[in-house]
Amino acid sequence: MTEIFKGNFTQQEPIPEAGIEAALQVMRSGRLHRYNLVEGEVGETALLEQEFAAYTGAKYALAVASGGYAMATALRAVGVKPGEPVLTNAFTLAPVPGAIASVGAVPVFVGVTEGLTIDLDDLEAKARATTAKVLMLSHMRGHLADMDALLEICAAAGLIVIEDCAHTMGAAWKGRASGRDGLIGCYSTQTYKHMNSGEGGLLITDDDEVMARAVILSGSYMLYGRNGTVPPAHVFERVKYDTPNVSGRMDHLRAAILRPQLAMLDGQCAAWNERYHVVEEGLRGTPGLTIVERPEEETYVGSSIQFLLLDWSEAAVGDVLARCMARGVELKWFGGAEPSGFTSRYDSWRYAPSDPMPASDRILLGIVDMRLPLTFSLEDCAQIARIIKAEVSAVFQAAD
């Protein structure tokens, strides 16, 4: 009998009841704007900032409208200017080069390794070959590069590191929370990330001046004293006249939904990893399929899983995707020439011209990606792995 998987790859869990209750209270109050507070009230948005700063160990956190907005704000806060090159990953998603382009800067793509992390040799070479002052480091699909080696290269090259932690909220390198190694860490709370407010983002830093700029950029007017975590007033005095207001605040409603999710985040991460391990173990030993082994130093969050069909023909990869889809397993492919759904390649972002990267192209052509929503049971995950293993094996043997 041929098994068919019946689950839904885009179905998230409901918002926790505590979040629904808090959201109702915000709506009943009518005070949805983060600066609409009564005497003595801190507000959901400021409380979320305090709690997220505490969770990551950062001095400051700022809640904003989206992850992409957090990244663009980070670039503005460190003074990236129009026309300036900004290094970033070739293997990432469209909002990353999009954030760079949104400030008029020019993305310069750095290659990807078989471990699905940024190629550190290529990083070193491109840091040397360009005048880039900033690396927008995308921890794409939750894979962390050797952060110690990366920081060393960036320090030597004088590069400021901004981390895109859209897929690493709750992850760590040698115990250091993802987002804490760079000058700034950026997170998304969009529906498909580790916390769900529909849309939303967070930015963290320890730097007084960067945070003062980011707060004003986010649209604080002169009400920045009401934010959850703020540098001393004299820092704002230095920056408030020459920092534009580029409105992108988070409202109380989203923050109310997120606070109970933050309290549960570590448990959610453990639940993702249980599912990840079941799929990973189920895929081991599949002929022609390469497991992406995770380094010991990395504490990851397995909210999605990737494997490689390295050096397969495009037709054969397409065949695997179609056969799995017919059995209810929705896989994404990063090698597709045309952008589709959420997936696209560095060379499809034509506003950012790139030289060919054959070594990275070989890997991108082989990356197969699958989301692991927490609405899947462990048995669902085991079944998904059985289906993928059977279909990859069938196509591999036929091609042999």
Ligand X SMILES: *Cc1c(COP(=O)(O)O)cnc(C)c1O
Q: Least distance from C-beta 188 to ligand X, angstroms?
A: 3
Query: Which of these ranges, 2-10, 164-172, 249-257, 321-329, lies near ligand X under the rule CB under 6 A?
Result: 164-172
With binding defined as CB under 6 A, does residue 66 bind ligand X? yes
Q: Report the candidate in 362, 300, 392 with the shortest Cα–Cα distance to residue 91.
A: 362
As beta bridge partners, residue 107 has 86
Q: Least distance from C-beta 347 to ligand X, angstroms?
A: 17
Q: Which one among 19, 43, 68, 170 touches ligand X, defined by CB under 6 A?
A: 68
Query: Which of these ranges, 52-60, 66-74, 104-112, 257-265, lies near ligand X under the rule CB under 6 A?
Result: 66-74
Nearer to ligand X, 117 or 138 (CB): 138
Other residues' Cβ atoms within 10 Å of the Cβ of residue 314: 12
Q: Least distance from C-beta 363 to ligand X, angstroms?
A: 17
Answer yes or no: are the C-beta atoms of 361 and 255 closer than 8 Å: no
Other residues' Cβ atoms within 10 Å of the Cβ of residue 232: 9
Q: Which one among 164, 181, 380, 391 touches ligand X, defined by CB under 6 A?
A: 164
| CA atoms within 13 Å, Cβ hemisphere of 110 | 32
Residues 89-148 that bind ligand X (CB under 6 A): 92-93, 95-96, 138, 140
Contact pattern for ligand X over residues 13 through 52, marking x by CB under 6 A: ----------------------------------------
Contact pattern for ligand X over residues 189 through 208, marking x by CB under 6 A: -x----------x-------
Q: Least distance from C-beta 334 to ligand X, angstroms?
A: 12
Q: Least distance from C-beta 233 to ligand X, angstroms?
A: 31
Answer yes or no: are the C-beta atoms of 311 and 366 closer than 8 Å: yes
Residues in contact with ligand X by CB under 6 A are 66-68, 92-93, 95-96, 138, 140, 164, 166-167, 188, 190, 201
